[in-house]
Structure 1
Amino acid sequence: MSAPARPTENATSPDKAAFAEEWEAWHRQKDETFGGPHGFLAITSLNWLDENPTRFPDAPGLWSSTADGVTVQLDEGEELLLDGEVLRGRHDFGVLAERSSLYPAAGDAVFEVAKRGGHDILRPRHPDNALRQSFTGTPAYDPDPRWAVPGRYEAFATPRPTTVGAVVEGLEHVYDAVGRIDFAVDGTSYALTAFEGAAPGTLQVLFTDATSGVTTYAANRSLTVAAPDADGNVTLDFNRATNLPCAYTDLATCPLPPAENRLPLAVEAGELIPTTPAATTRSVPA
């Protein structure tokens, strides 16, 4: 079998020891946040709300969703705290924006009220969840400066609404594709469609590659790209390719990459398949 494609190291590659130290600090912080008291590993259930008021065993109140938004009806003695306001009795959260979340709390738990793929959901997050308690960190390839690949970003004239699948069967997500990133590995050219990142100016890339389902999570990995410079230059640091929450738990609604972001090369960098004992058993949609 031929060796996997690797970027060519050049004279400007950063010192490997310093590069690894910076990566270790970043990855440690990423895992600490992800495995925090109310991170994704604390989620105990994924509940799809409808017009029928329903009580769930891991959350106070009766929850429902209509065209007017999400409502909770709290019994006497039950209360939630949201942004400093104590909620009692009936509370209307209103219509939520797609991919937005609210986090009312009670005791040491929070109860994520969110909209995903056009559906309102409730996801309780309890710090003592067994999945969180068993989490010891995410395995990853050793950081390698050769996988910090230069690229060129070209913005689309206008954002292109792009529908992608999800790890939940039948669910779809719509993202605005804002541009394309061209790059090369070992002289072969590739391109990735980019979405808006979480921070202003940044980009997000969802992708799979030839390691997906072998050493890395089959459904997707995510890469945040710093804002392009004035000439559109970016760096695709695949060492920082991370798993989405669906790699760890069945209680996530993660998007799948757009078809054009399925790379034919083996990106042997970034996070590997989690080893957490309770990791997801969900099959990956085709």
Structure 2
Amino acid sequence: MTVQDVDLVSFVQEWEQWHTAKEGVLAGPHGFLAITSLRWLSAEPARFEDAPGAWSSTVDGVVVELADGEELTVDGTAVRGRYDFGVIAERASVEASWGDAVIEVAKRGGHDIVRPRHPDSALRTAFTQTPAYAPDPRWVRPGRFLPFAEPRQVTVGAAVEGLEHVYDSPGQVEFELDGTPHRLTAFNGRVPGSLSVLFTDKTSGVTTYAANRALQIAPPDGEGRVSVDFNRAGNLPCAYTDLATCPLPPTENRLPVPVEAGEKIPLERGGEL
């Protein structure tokens, strides 16, 4: 497909639908903008002002001790007293309801955490929109998936200093920008067979968020072909809040050219419309 083949009206409408849906998840009642704190649990029970109970991390998983009059709802069932969430898998989360709030219990970088999410969070209620470049078909690049002989474990840093994430990488994505070939290490995407790419470029820290942006790529076709749409280069939650543990791109995913497409620095971080 060439730029001339694109129905620009439909192209823009589809991009706007994608962007609106992404913003809806981010700013939903219990989305990332609703998070009010990030609590790193230890063996010593601790109470927090934005969540009920005393929380601790044990060899058997996360435990909360609810005092008299305190209650959580887990999987539709009210719980009181001591409740054991069990061992939570890396990058997994369990949600417990508390009034109109949700208490996220999760594991990130090998550490048990609690992240309360309150709909009346000031960050959420003040949110309006995320600045972005105008969608342009020229930033949709044909590419090719180059699978590794075996998936590789890739360790990357995180938005939280000292934290590391480990991801399985099935291969790399190759494409051209202005006639120059580039390769980016890919991780497994949300949909089976799809790919997720974290990257920075020469706009990072200038017009786009400095630490990272993310691209979701549909599964390769039978010949390994993929479409790399930089118009959908999106911010991760750490672009908006310090209460996120987002991964950073692998070193080799730093593009030496400006990618003037996709989402820009959020207004919350000093960005401009």
TM range (shorter): over 0.9
With the length of structure 2 as denominator, give the TM-score of the two structures: 0.97
What is the alpha-carbon distance in structure 1 between the residues aligned to residue 159 and residue 174 of structure 2? 27
Compute the displacement of 1:13 (Å): 3.9
Q: 1:32 Cα shift?
A: 1.1
For 1:13 and 1:122, the matched residues in 2 are separated by 49
Map of 2:242 onto structure 1:
250
Query: Does the 8 A contact of 1:59 with 1:124 survive in 2?
Result: yes
Question: Aligned letter for 1:223?
Answer: L
Matched, 1:270 2:262: yes
The Cα offsets for residues 197-231 of structure 1, whole Å up to 9 and x where unpaired, read as 11211110000000000000000000000011111
1:124 aligns to what?
A: 116
The residue aligned with 1:189 is 181
> Which of residues 61, 64, 71 in structure 1 aligns to 2:56?
64
Counterparts in 2 of 1:1-286, with a 5 A limit? Answer: 10=2, 13-276=5-268, 279=269
Q: Structure 1 counterpart of 2:230, which letter? A: F
Q: Give the whole-Å Cα distance in 1 for the aligned partners of 2:3 and 2:52.
A: 59
- What is the Cα deviation at residue 11 of structure 1? 5.2
Tell me the amino acid that sits aligned with residue 223 of structure 2: D
Rounded Cα–Cα distance in structure 2 between residues aligned with 1:121 and 1:29: 27
Alpha-carbon separation, structure 1, partners of 2:5 and 2:132? 21
Partners of 2:27 and 2:115 lie apart in 1 by 16
In structure 2, distance between residues paired with 1:11 and 1:121: 46
**Equivalent pairs: percent with the same residue?**
65
Q: Give how far 1:10 is off.
A: 3.2
Q: Equivalents in 1 of 2:229, 2:4: separation in Å?
A: 15
Structure 1 unaligned segments of length 5 or more: list them: 1-8, 281-286
> Could you tell which deviates more after superposition, 216-225 or 155-164?
155-164
Deviations 1:50-85 (CA, angstroms, capped at 9, x unpaired): 000000000000000022110000011111111112
Give deviations 1:66-106, integer Å, cap 9, x for gaps: 22110000011111111112211101111110000001001
Task: Indicate the SS of the match to 2:267.
Answer: coil
Secondary structure (helix, strand or coil) at the match of 1:60 reads strand
Query: RMSD of aligned C-alpha atoms?
Result: 1.2
Q: Could you tell me how far apart the structure 1 residues matched to 2:3 and 2:66 are?
A: 64
Aligned residues: 270
Give every structure 1 segment of 4 or more consecutive aligned residues whose post-TM-superposition deviation is greater than 6 Å: none
Change (3 A) 1:11 1:91: closer
- The separation in 1 between residues aligned to 2:58 and 2:135, in whole angstroms, is 48
- What's the offset of the Cα at 1:256? 0.5
Shift of the 13–263 alpha-carbon distance from structure 1 to 2, 3 Å rule, reads: farther
Are the aligned partners of 1:13 and 1:145 in contact in 2 as well (CA < 8 Å)?
Answer: no
Structure 2: any 5+ residue segments left out of the alignment? none
Note if contact 1:164-1:257 (Cα within 8 Å) is conserved in structure 2: yes
Quick check: 1:13–1:146 contact (8 Å CA) kept in 2? no
What is the distance in 2 between the residues matched to 1:228 and 1:12? 23
TM-score normalised over the length of structure 1: 0.92
- What amino acid sits opposite 2:158 in the alignment? A
Taking a change above 3 Å as real, the CA distance of residues 269 and 13 of structure 1, as seen in their structure-2 partners, is farther
Hey, what's the Cα distance between the residues in 2 that align with 1:32 and 1:11?
29
**How far apart, CA to CA, are the structure 2 residues paired with 1:148 and 1:10?**
9
